[in-house]
Chains A and B, each alone.
Chain A
Amino acid sequence: MAVVPIPRAEAASAEGLLGNAYSWCHNHNPMRRERGNRDSVPNDGRVEIPDLSPVLLVGASGCGKSTFARRHFKATEILSSDQCRGIVSDDENAQEATGDAFDLLRYIARVRLRNGKKVVVDATNVQESARKEMLQLAWQHHVPAVAIVFLFDEAICHKRNETRPDRQFGPHVVRNQTRDLRRSLGNLFREGFRHVYVFRSPEEVETAQVHITPLWPDFKHISGPFDIIGDIHGCWNELQELLEKLGYRIADLGSRSSDLPELSQIDPSSAIPDPRSIALRPDARWRPQTFYEVSHAENRKLIFLGDFVDRGPNTPEVLKLAMSAVATGAGYCVPGNHDDKLMRKLKGKEVRIAHGLAQSLEQLAEETEEFRQSAASFIDALVSHLVLDEGKLVVAHAGLSEDMQGRASTRVRDFALYGETTGETDEFGLPVRYPWAAEYRGKARVVYGHTPVPQPEWLNRTINIDTGCVFGGKLTALKYPEMELVSVSAHEVYAESKKPFLDQAKTELSAQHDLDDVLDLADVFGKRIVSTRLRGNITIREENASAALEAMSRFAANPKWLVYLPPTMSPTETTTKEGLLEHPQEGFSYFREKNVARVVCEEKHMGSRAVVVVCRDAAVATQRFGVATGETGCIYTRTGRRFFENEAIERALLERVATAIGKAGLWEELSTDWMVLDCELLPWSAKAQELLRKQYAPVGASSVAATRATLSVLQQAAAQIEGLEELLDRTAMRKETAVQFVDSYRRYCWSVSKLEDLKLAPFHILATEGAVHADKDHQWHMHTLAHVCGEDPGVLFATPYKIVETEDRESVQSGIDWWEELTGRGGEGMVMKPFQFIHEGPGGLVQPAVKCRGREYLRIIYGPEYTLPANLQRLRKRGLGVKRSLALREFALGIEGLERFVRREPLRQVHECAFAVLAMESEPVDPRL
């Protein structure tokens, strides 16, 4: 095996693994040109392949590329041009299919690289033009490209081809390929390959060992807890104070400062950690030094977000502390743009002395040259960004968009150090930053600094903790995974900020709430898969999302209030008891079969479902919900529509609810200043006006009049004609059912002219600050709410309930008796729920509630005449399966949305759940269930 000789660049930098790929990047900073460096490869048959990269096998036909690929790589990683030719044309050797075959190959390569999977391209790749496209893909996906070259005597290849019946081409083919290959061999690095390995004989191929190495920023195995420190800029005193506050012990080693051997010379077997273990570049040439001993009783680790230097009073000590922390494994660092510039200056580069660099140079002049070079090497050894804690945490000085996380290229490094700018400048002459955080959709939390902000704020799982200490702000740490912020104030203003960041008027809404004013269609539209804690992934079909879009856009309340939409509810199984469709017996049996020993039966009110979000005051609505209109909450229907057209009524009712909660002492008891309640709002007629006027009352009026007239005609006729008895009986029965129908709906109607005519019956305390109360049993909910309702019986109504033991015959009978009594006096019926809010039975989640409706109530569902025996018999044929499955999925989505809201996830995460519930409601399910 031979390694192509590489001219080592003098600055041993560049994690720009694609050091030489700049030819693809027209705007590339020419400064980077010198940084193109490659690791030297020991001549021992060791082939190192970065975990994520396109690997090009380069060699003439017959040189053994495919065999090599199969031996060292997974079948799914190998993209073979022959195979692609076969896929598109049925003939692996069809040269006319080459164009299509490469289109396919590129497409797969692109998708795999986007998904973070390596690809091994098994094609001859002997011409530069063929390699160029793969290098471009590598550049687009911020990953290094590898070339493995098979350069043998032509005769070997030719001989191998001769033994294969499908490769009967003349020797000129291999000859031309080999000629092309030799021509480009010297240029592979210039073309942009990060690693080049050349096999010059089949024997070398035989003995090769392939090692997969992680990309440089990959430190997923390191998982805190961390204290992440924002931009320090030489604020040494504040740093010490902050570290102390965080519980670190810092001992000045003074003369005992240690000198350790240069890392690259370290014997890997020795006890001294290798660079990777302290999150440095593997090719780091820094000689670790310790000036301070940094330790924490709970073994927490520090992470410095860069910009240690410039502007502040004591850059050297800050550097020393950071270097010590890294050297001893007490902490990790990523570089900032200021550090990078200082490093280049110290390495003798020409840089403009500005933005506080002068102070650093002045202070460092007091130090030894040896220290200055050590500091420069240290900064140079830092990896642009780190991916930590199984990929859940990313730290980078200026932040990092999702597509660059864990990847390595000059572009990644530039983004991580400098951020991305739009090319415009603001009124202070500062570059306008690209709002990557606002667009961020990644799963990893990104902690960054770089641009001073008055107060750190989470935005889409990202947070900027540079609170401008050097400009007289604060030095801030983020505790991870606790996500707590700890700050110390600047002792003085060390530098003037070009943009007066501390004077920035505190906006009414947080950055997240401001961003949440506009949700993105792509987050709700089309086929969606919503992942829930209770029921795993739930698929929302595209047509259902489409149907929900109009309802959500035209009629729903502000999505900031819609933290929850209630699930649909299935009835009990259909009963065969005479004259009935539903009976509690079936409900109790269902729960008994599902191992639910105890059931809560709640009186079902015939009103309209109402979700009440109530805040203690308007300030809470602004801070917690991001609604700054002066509203103190929202009352909405099960489809997310505002219940009241008239804001004054809503406000008045919310105030009554908030006052009752306050009087009941619940704000304090639950340590919250907002609450989401699941309720029934009565009367039905308050909401169902349209339905009553367009459907129920007309059916009542027409049925009574028609049956009455018919009955009278028949009675007259029957006096003279024989054989009308049956028709007469049926008609008399119909007339009776028509009257009963009118009585049924009238029972749920009353005129509403003042607030007290409304009755709100809450039955779930869904969520309060920091808690979704699905972990409490229903007795707690009913009991706690009864207390609240007791404070204002004028508009609040405590729902009667009864607990039934499903295994106890008497208890079940008492439940049935209660239902009969309720429905006997015209009640709608009852809702039966497992005692626990969430009950997992043997077959999974049990229905969170089933309803059992009374005989008279069902008349307004199934029509006046439904109780006629012939009708009832047919109506009993109804399937509950779809309804029940929907109920479970919607329940899981509802709870998921609340949990996300309580965890303070971005609104789109919460809205996704509410939207999904609304979408599910467009599923065609028998609406009478």
Chain B
Amino acid sequence: MLLTFTTTHQPATDLGFLLHKNPARAQSLDLGFGLAHVVYPEATEQRCTAALILEIDPVGLVRGGSRFDQYVNDRPYAASSFMSVALGRVFGTAMTGRSKERQELADSSIPLEVHLPVLPCRGGEPFLRKLFEPLGYLLEATRLPLDEHFPEWGESSYFDVTLRKTTRLQDLLKHLYVLIPVLDDDKHYWVGKDEIDKLLHKGQDWLETHPEKNEIVRRYLTRQKQLTREALERLTVADDDPDPDAREEKDASLEEAVEKPISLHEQRLQAVTEALKGSGARTILDLGCGEGKLIQMLLKERQFDTIVGMDVSLSVLERAESKLHLDPISPLPLPDLGAGATPIPQDPPARRSPRTQHARDRVRLIHGSLVYRDRRLEGFDAAALIEVIEHLDAPRLIALERNIFEFARPKTVVFTTPNSEYNVLFEGLQLTGDGTPVTGDGSEGAVPFGNLPSRTQRFRHKDHRFEWTRTEFETWANRVAADHGYAVAFAPIGPVDPTHGAPSQMATFSHV
């Protein structure tokens, strides 16, 4: 990993005084994760370049108990938080703006040039420019090819970057210290509260007014919401603008946020909640509950006294559990099919009157899968499957269908799924349902081939296995209803386009 500073301020070798590193010698420092070296490939009166070289131990990274588990890793080569740590340790004094020998120079702006041969930029060149240009840098950036033998693999996220500015060295160092890991969007160490202090300290003079302030803070604090909020609050604490106009502006934007049309997903949840309420159901299954958004909405309705959320992903369930403030995922006992004879009865659950029931008493989360028959799902009034079926391979739908309609048989079942006809109305093809661009190739590792478009190009979400037109959905639902003794009704969700229908569609099944 390499970073060089160059100045043409004369005498250029004064750079050594500013950095507190003698240009005539090589200096090394053990940083724990590797060695840092400072050498001067060029040191003349006209031009002086100091190079910071990091030798990161790739085996130590994995074996040293840090969070890295891959030997095949770009960390030893790409500029990252390792570089920030090294800047802080090697040029700590310079970063404070002190210089034993050349204080005046340290306080002056001098022409400086920084070269980073491998700088990872998540967000690409536009973001890179948004970070440095407002700070007054002239920027040269060349994207590195990922592999010139395989241009079809696309571009790398690394840039060879040169920054130029006439500035104080300490400002440059602070900018680099903060912005390198922001561009890399990662940290090699655990980020806690003290990271806020570091950020505010290093960003003292410039961060508050930086147009990308929010994103810088967010990424620097590894996208931890709590920390980000706190940092932004502290950053703007002096910003309690006494100007009444400014305050008004602020209120207006709040109002706008309130009036902002509710999202499609919100509408979906409301439609499903209404359908469930209308069915008179008291016990609800939320199958594929995700992080529990529907459960949160259902909890507001006293009508529902038992809500069981099920998801196939344990990590998602854990998030739901913490969002809903529930106890650890409770193992609803599965029946022992092998034992045959009468099961050993369990102690009856302690019952409380509905009045005193807390959310945690009304909700239970279980880990399970819709493609396996699950006896825990029997005996419920209603089940909701919001945007679930399209995540299953179409041939596996038969298992879901039988699990729900043949075995579990709730009185009411509500499905929602995207209406693929509407996709043409989304701006651009590669948009997810929420309008954000799809990332990754979405191929799930399956082999793309020939001219067939991959799923990503066809569907709203990279994990969608299919998306149905209204006719396809209704054909399926009508057949299922007929086979299993249900009646089914359909409803659009979201704004209805006269040609393409609504973005989402809902089917409500009920026992005949």
The residues of A with any CB-CB pair to B shorter than 8 Å are 107, 110-111, 113-114, 140-141, 401-403, 439, 441-442, 517-526, 546-547, 549-550, 552-555, 557-558, 629, 637, 641-646, 648-649, 685-690, 692-693, 695-703, 705-710, 713-714, 716-717, 720-724, 727, 730, 738, 742, 746, 749, 751-754, 860-866, 870-871, 874-875, 927-928
Contact = CB atoms under 8 A, between A and B. Distances in A.
B25 A721 contact: yes
28 contacts: A110-B344, A111-B344, A402-B341, A517-B399, A518-B372, A518-B406, A522-B375, A547-B314, A552-B369, A557-B393, A637-B445, A646-B446, A646-B450, A687-B445, A688-B445, A689-B443, A690-B443, A702-B118, A702-B158, A708-B117, A713-B41, A717-B26, A727-B55, A746-B149, A749-B149, A862-B72, A863-B70, A874-B59
B342 A521 contact: no
Nearest 10 Cβ contacts at the A-B interface: A716-B41, A645-B446, A863-B71, A403-B341, A402-B340, A709-B117, A706-B77, A553-B369, A521-B372, A702-B77
Nearest to B333: A526
B145 interface: yes
Contacts of B463: 554
Interface string B368-401: 1111111100000000000000011101101100
Given A644-B446, A698-B146, A727-B37, A525 B334 contact: yes
Residue of A519, A689, A861 most packed against chain B (CB within 10 A) = A689
Contacts of A439: 337
Residue of A546, A643, A709, A716 most packed against chain B (CB within 10 A) = A709
Contact of B312 (A402, A553, A717): A553
A685 B147 CA distance: 13
B24 A721 contact: yes
Contacts of B454: 645
B153 interface: yes
Given A519-B372, A646-B447, A709-B117, A698 B158 contact: yes
B2 A713 contact: yes
Contacts of B237: none
A519 B145 CA distance: 48
A751 B51 CA distance: 40
Contacts of A716: 41-42
Contacts of A696: 72
A885 B402 CA distance: 38
B344 A861 contact: no
Nearest to A749: B150
Contacts of A523: 337
A928 B69 CA distance: 10
Nearest to B343: A114
Given A693-B153, A716-B42, A753-B450, A520 B314 contact: no
Nearest to A552: B369
A555 B371 contact: no
Nearest to B69: A927
Given A520-B374, A648-B450, A648-B452, 13 more contacts: A110-B344, A525-B368, A553-B371, A646-B452, A702-B77, A705-B144, A705-B158, A705-B160, A707-B77, A709-B2, A709-B118, A721-B24, A874-B63
Nearest to B1: A706
A69 B342 CA distance: 27
B338 interface: yes
Contacts of B314: 546-547, 550
B427 interface: no
B344 A114 contact: yes
* Chain B residues touching A, majority SS: loop
B373 A520 contact: yes
A871 B396 CA distance: 47
Contacts of B150: 685, 692, 697, 746, 749, 751
Interface string B215-244: 000000000000000000000000000000
A861 B72 CA distance: 7
Interface string B451-494: 01011000000010000000000000000000000000000000
Contact of B117 (A642, A689, A706): A706
A549 B313 CA distance: 8
Contact of B449 (A113, A649, A706, A927): A649
Contacts of B402: 517-518
A717 B41 contact: yes
B407 A518 contact: yes
A701 B156 contact: yes
A403 B340 contact: yes
Contact of A555 (B40, B398, B407, B444): B444
Contact of B448 (A113, A520, A689): A689
Contacts of B25: 721
Given A522-B334, A717-B39, A697 B153 contact: yes
Contacts of B78: 702, 706
B370 A140 contact: no
Contacts of B4: 713
B72 to A, nearest CB: 5
Given A713-B53, A717-B51, A703 B372 contact: no
Residue of A710, A749, A751, A875 most packed against chain B (CB within 10 A) = A710
Nearest to B402: A518
A643 B154 contact: no
A649 B369 contact: no
Nearest to B440: A690
Contact of B26 (A520, A710, A723): A723
B74 interface: yes
Contacts of B72: 695-696, 699, 860-864
Contacts of A875: 59
Contacts of B160: 705
Contacts of B157: 698
B61 to A, nearest CB: 9
A107 B347 CA distance: 12
A641 B73 CA distance: 26
B439 to A, nearest CB: 11
A807 to B, nearest CB: 37
Interface in B79-101: none
A871 B58 contact: yes
B274 interface: no
A689 B146 contact: no
B153 A692 contact: yes
A577 B380 CA distance: 65
Contacts of B9: none
B209 to A, nearest CB: 33
Given A721-B26, A749-B150, A686 B447 contact: yes
A111 B340 CA distance: 12
B43 interface: yes
A519 B446 CA distance: 25
A724 B396 CA distance: 63
Nearest to B455: A645
Nearest to A681: B447
A710 B2 contact: yes
Nearest to A719: B41
B227 to A, nearest CB: 27
A686 to B, nearest CB: 5
B396 A558 contact: yes
Nearest to B463: A554
A521 B71 contact: no
Contacts of B120: 702
B173 to A, nearest CB: 19
Residue of B70, B147, B369, B402 most packed against chain A (CB within 10 A) = B147
Interface in B106-162: 117-118, 120, 144-147, 149-150, 152-154, 156-158, 160
Contact of B154 (A113, A520, A546, A693): A693
B317 to A, nearest CB: 10
A141 B342 contact: yes
A874 B63 CA distance: 9
Nearest to B335: A522
Given A401-B340, A523-B337, A709-B118, A549 B367 contact: yes
Contacts of A754: 450
A705 B76 CA distance: 12
